[in-house]
Amino acid sequence: MSAARISAVLWQGHPGLADTFYRLARLFALGLVFILPLEAITAAREMAVVGMVLFLALFFWARHEFSFRATVLFWPLILYVAATVFSLFTAVDMAYTLKELRAEVLKGLLVFYAGVHLIQGQENLKQFWGVILVGLAVMTTAGLIFFFQEGGSLFNHAVRAGALHSGYGTLGTYLVLVWPYLLLAPLLWPQRGTKWLWLVFILATGLLAYTTYNRAAWLAMLLQAALCLIMLTRRRLRTLLLVSLAALLVAGLMFTAPGSRHGERWDRLVSNPLKTGGTAGDLLTLWAYSYEQVKKDPFRGIGLGRHSFSKAFPKFRATHQPLLWHAHNTFVDLTLQLGVQGLIAVLLIMGVLVWSLWPHSPPMSGEAAQAFAAATAAMVAGFCLRNMFDDFFVDDTGLMFWLLTGLALGGRELIRERAKAR
């Protein structure tokens, strides 16, 4: 067979194969959504990522039609990648930073753009939403059972819920990632008689979040609930004022709840912040030190990767508690690692996501793309707030963030493509 004939066979359309490949790609992606938060199954996670990307590529080959969806994040992502690559040349450990660039940035972008191109119809988003809810139901049920079996109490934080995740910190972050999809789920499943089911589900998930005693997750989920309420109303300014007052009241009650203090003396927060003590005092000390390091050379990063902090500042590590091995704030961490240019890139990514996905009017019932975009806008805002007090923009929580935002922007691009075709 001639080369020309082989080429013609390879590049002709195969509609039957295309449908099979797309179903397989979607199956791997749905599996990825479910298994990402499960501890100690990293091999399955890697297989799901590879399967999703491979069969998605084969789908477009078999269909013999591909249009790259750059999305509104294209240039912010280019800036982010450039900042991470530049950090290689100023890294305290180039080999480690190169490994982190591959594992976090490149894999994250691969998952993001796979999510963008997976959405070929609004029913796809409903399927992903359903798997998110099934995964959350499993995590919530297991988490509450394990918490009380292990002797957990609702009145102190000696035992903190970890469910099927790797610990209370990652569990709290996972709940922040999926909470808005639970709150807005009735938009897609508004059937009569399900109101009490949704209420029980929301209350159980809220209880699981409480039992993590993860105060940053509490605040993030409160913010997301407030944003969802604002999205669902037409008189948004009035709702914003009322919801803001209510959120402040709830936040105040949160920090008087049993287990909400982890050794802090809040009366010192204004007069002498570095003497606040507890977890908050440690963080303030860490951030003050990080600020001093950034001031010395704002555009010179220590290299991508949370462990770069320990490698670059061994004296600080030797004189402080072991948990302070990185800046415990995604934005501070990335400023140290990538320089101010890296911080600007990440702020652009987060800002553009919220701006582009925020609904200008209440999402319509049954409109999956609109509802998924609204939930994702709230997710991004909450994810940013949660990561102001630790850095979980990595590993499984980072991949979940990229996949969910990719799916949301895929739905947005789908609406735009269909509008152009009319």
In this prediction the pTM is: 0.92
More confident: 127 or 261:
127
For residue 414, name the pLDDT band (cuts at 50, 70, 90): confident
Share of the chain above pLDDT 90, in %: 70
Task: Give me the pLDDT at residue 128, please.
Answer: 97
Sorted by sequence, the CB contacts under 8 Å of residue 172 that are 6+ apart come out as: 209, 212, 214, 216, 217, 386
Provide the 10 A C-beta neighbour count for residue 327: 25
DSSP state of 325: S
pLDDT in tens, 235-250: 888 888 888 888 888 8
Q: What is the torsional sign of CA 290, 293, 295, 301?
A: negative
Q: Is the pLDDT of residue 309 over 60?
A: yes
Does 7 score more than 60 pLDDT? no
pLDDT tens digits, 348-363: 999 999 999 999 899 9
pLDDT of residue 132: 98
Stretch 88-99: mean pLDDT: 96
Tell me the C-alpha distance between 91 and 331, whole Å: 18
Q: Mean pLDDT over residues 155-177, rounded?
A: 92
6 pLDDT band, cuts 50/70/90, is: very low
Q: Can you give the length of the chain in residues? A: 422
pLDDT at 157: 86
Please report the DSSP string for 39-62 in residue order. TT-HHHHHHHHHHHHHHHHHHHHH
How does residue 272 score in pLDDT terms, banded at 50, 70 and 90? low
**What pLDDT band is residue 262 in, cutting at 50, 70 and 90?**
low
C-alpha to C-alpha distance for 20 and 292, rounded to whole angstroms: 56
User: CA torsion angle for 358, 361, 362, 366 (degrees, to 10)?
Assistant: -90
Q: Are 222 and 254 in contact (CB under 8 A)?
A: yes
Residue in the structure block whose two tokens are 């935002």:
405
CB 147 within 8 A of CB 105: no
CA dist 416 and 281 (Å) reads 48
Confidence check: pLDDT of 342 > 80: yes
Per-residue pLDDT at 268: 62
Q: What is the mean pLDDT of the chain?
A: 89
For residue 95, count other CB atoms closer than 10 A to its CB. 10
Of residues 96 and 10, more confidently modeled: 96
Q: Residue 252 above 50 pLDDT?
A: yes
Rounded CA-CA distance 81/72 in Å is: 15
Going by C-alpha positions, the residue among 353, 306, 314 that lies closest to residue 332 is: 306
Nearest-angstrom CA–CA distance, 261 and 269: 13
**pLDDT > 60? residue 306:** yes
The pair of structure tokens assigned to 212 is: 């993590």
pLDDT at site 180 = 98
Q: How confident is the model at residue 9 (pLDDT cuts 50, 70, 90)?
A: very low
Residue 420 has pLDDT above 90, yes or no: no
**Structure tokens belonging to residue 94:** 């180039």
**The predicted structure's pLDDT at residue 347:** 97
**Which residue shows structure tokens 């050379």?**
297
Evaluate if residue 145 carries a pLDDT over 50. Answer: yes
Q: Mean pLDDT throughout 271-276?
A: 61
pLDDT: which is higher, 193 or 263: 193
Q: Is the dihedral of CA 404, 406, 408, 411 positive or negative?
A: negative
Q: What is the full DSSP assignment across 363-388?
A: PPTT-HHHHHHHHHHHHHHHHHHHTT
User: Per-residue pLDDT for 158 more than 90?
Assistant: no
Q: Which residues contact 103 (CB under 8 A, 6 or more apart)?
A: none
**Measured on CA atoms in the order 58, 102, 403, 162, is the torsion positive or negative?**
positive
**Exposed / middle / buried, residue 208 (Cβ in 10 Å: 0-12, 13-18, 19+):** buried
Count the alpha carbons within 13 Å of 377 in the hemisphere toward its beta carbon. 23
Mean pLDDT of 403-422: 87
pLDDT tens digits, one per residue of 129-144 = 999 999 999 999 999 9
Q: Average pLDDT for residues 19-24, to the nearest whole number?
A: 95
- What is the pLDDT, as a whole number, of residue 11? 41
pLDDT for residue 273: 63
Task: Give the end-to-end CA distance of the chain in Å, rounded to a whole number.
Answer: 43
CA angle 247, 384, 229 (to 5 degrees): 35
Indicate whether 270 pLDDT > 80.
Answer: no
218/161 Cα distance (integer angstroms): 13
Q: Which residue has the tokens 């949660």?
A: 386
Q: Is the pLDDT of residue 218 over 90?
A: yes
- Please report the pLDDT score of residue 67 as a whole number: 86
More confident residue, 365 or 114: 114
Write out pLDDT tens, residues 23-66. Answer: 999 999 999 999 999 876 778 899 999 999 999 999 999 988 88
Q: What is the mean pLDDT of residues 120-129?
A: 93
